[in-house]
Amino acid sequence: MINTKRQAIALLSDHADPAAVVGTEEAGGQNVYVRQVGENLAALGWQVDMFTRKANPEDPTIVQHSPYCRTIRLKAGPETFIPRDRLFDHMPEFVKSFCDFQTQQAYSYPLIHTNYWLSAWIGLQLQQKTGIQLIHTYHSLGVVKYDSVTKPKIAHTRLATEKAILERSSCVVATSPQEKEILKTRVSSKGQIEVIPCGTDTSNFCAIPKVSAREKLGWFPQEKIVLYVGRFDPRKGIETLVQACASLKNQGCDKLKLVIVGGSLTDRIDGQERQRIEQIVQDLGLDEITVFTGQVGHDLLPLYYSAADVCVVPSHYEPFGLVAIEAMACGTPVIASNVGGLRFTVLPEETGLLVPPRDVDAFAGAIHRVIQDEVWAKKLRKQASASVNQRFTWNSVAIKLSHLYRYTLARTIMHEQPWNPPQTSPLWTPVGEEVKRVAV
Ligand code: UDP
């Protein structure tokens, strides 16, 4: 039930279940973001209800994370895993389930924070019928993503929705100044944008002495450990890292060890990409120096980060990249592609290095620089954890979001309608597209 003593708000996260195990399939940064934001907002005095799609009949419908923060799984299509690029058809049912839930609870959320474009679509549907305030975080932007992949059929709807939410929400949250710039120049010049970065749990992600971390993991002190952490997805660029390690080995780099964390062995995208990467490792003769650990939880990840000499984030495109700040929080220098949010989080020569995406020689050169110069690496380690502690804690993210919500709700109560969303037929309905309307 809704706690009437607290202001209740809804976070929508269509596919990324805040209660899911992170690191496999499509469970990654967005799941962590919604869960952390939710829990930290609850600690600040809000009642937070996080809504996601039920993807497994065995999952409980409601998961209570803390007295004032819960995940609610709604019916939206069959209760089975569906990749996010095939979820749109089930979103009208999500809207209906959300409205039914509100009716059962006899409560309508005055403010909804949507995450990812599918939730934005749901939010826009709800906004048409009721005067709710919308706040939105993109997590991934179609306009950038489609620069590097073939546009799917749904692209037109996604791009139109991403433009509409910018123009019609109370405010969108960009997680880096780079994202704000892209929104203004490539999505729409209209709309309110606040830069509020993602965060990390610095009480969990903090430095453990390298020697003891290695001892616990059974890794030798003299090894040069290069770490990857994340989902298996072609856009993560794991292939570039593997090739860079092969190049280093061929140049005679001694005692190199590549540790790849994350992924599953399913026959879905995640498992397929893992098999492809394993094959490349084999073809390049790196089997003996490469370890695939599979998914590792946040409880153990600090050990992996702390034990590594360097963490590499070779993504072709990365909206923010939680892994980079988790690694730096543990005092591990990061070598990352010079793209997206990584350009904001990784400070070149201070907390790591930025190199052009897909550039095998540049990655090899940067890894070599860090693992060969222990004095410099030590300096980077210190600066990396200090930088994250100053700039990227979940608590500071929640405080900024909390201010934004309060400001937005206060303006609503005063009937000022500051950002004046158009009430006419929505600009974002793509002509001739099969966008479905539902009665709410
Ligand atoms: N992750 C994890 N276990 C794994 C692999 C990844 O918990 O085995 C987590 C990682 O710690 C991070 C998230 O998954 O919190 C990945 O977020 P990021 O923003 O780096 O990438 P995304 O998955 O959103 O593309």
> How far is residue 336's CA from residue 44's CA, in Å, rounded to a whole number?
34
Ligand 1: does its nearest atom lie under 6 Å from the Cβ of 323? yes
In the predicted model, what is the mean pLDDT of the chain? 91
Which residue out of 33, 236, 322, 388 has the highest number of ligand 1 atoms within 8 Å of its CB and is therefore the one to mutate?
Answer: 322
413 within a domain of the structure (yes/no): yes
Does residue 423 carry a pLDDT above 70? no
Q: Does any domain span residue 2?
A: no
252 shares its domain with 382: yes
For residue 341, give the DSSP letter: T
Are both 59 and 171 inside the same structural domain?
yes
Q: Are 115 and 33 in contact (CB under 8 A)?
A: yes
Residue 260 and residue 23 in contact, taking contact as beta carbons nearer than 8 Å: no
Q: What is the CATH number of the domain that holds 19?
A: 3.40.50.2000
In a domain, 44, yes or no: yes
**Is 204 inside a domain boundary?**
no
Task: Verify that 223 and 339 share a domain, yes or no.
Answer: yes
3 within some domain: no
pLDDT tens sequence across 324-371: 999 999 999 999 999 999 999 999 999 999 999 999 999 999 999 999
Range of the domain at 13: 8-199+394-436
> Which protein residue has the closest C-alpha to ligand 1 atom 2?
23
In a domain, 1, yes or no: no
Of the candidates 355, 373, 391, which is a domain's last residue? 391
Q: Which atom of ligand 1 is nearest to the CA of 28?
A: 23
Q: Are 263 and 273 in contact (CB under 8 A)?
A: yes
**Run of H or E including 354:** strand 352-355
Q: Identify whether residues 217 and 160 lie together within a single domain.
A: no
Tell me: do 215 and 277 sit in the same domain. Answer: yes
Q: CA quadruple 314, 318, 321, 325: dihedral positive or negative?
A: positive
- Say whether both 65 and 165 belong to one domain: yes
Q: Answer whether 237 contacts ligand 1 (Cβ < 6 A).
A: no
* Ligand 1 atom with least separation from CA of 198: 19
Q: Do the beta carbons of residue 8 and residue 109 sit within 8 Å?
A: yes
Residue 262 in contact with ligand 1 by CB distance below 6 A: yes
Q: Give per-residue pLDDT as tens, 126-166.
A: 999 888 999 999 999 999 999 888 899 999 999 999 999 99
Confirm whether 296 is domain-assigned: yes
Alpha-carbon distance of 162 to 421, in angstroms, equals 15
Number of domains in the chain: 2
Residues 330 and 427 in one domain: no
Instruction: Tell me, in angstroms, the distance from the centre of ligand 1 to residue 263's CA.
Output: 10
Q: Are residues 267 and 164 in the same domain?
A: no
Q: What's the pTM value of the predicted model, to 2 decimals?
A: 0.89
Closest protein CA for atom 9 of ligand 1? 23
Phi, psi of 199 (to 5 degrees): -135, -175
Among the ranges given (107-116, 386-395, 423-432), the one the predictor scored with the smallest mean pLDDT? 423-432
Identify whether residues 232 and 323 lie together within a single domain: yes
Say yes or no to pLDDT of 421 above 60.
no
Q: What is the 266 CA–ligand 1 centroid distance (Å)?
A: 18
Q: What's residue 142's pLDDT? A: 96
Q: Are residues 50 and 147 in the same domain?
A: yes
Same domain, 383 and 362: yes
81 in any annotated domain: yes
**194, two tokens:** 């606040």
Q: Which of 356, 375, 391 is the last residue of a domain?
A: 391
- Residues 282, 365, single domain; the answer is yes
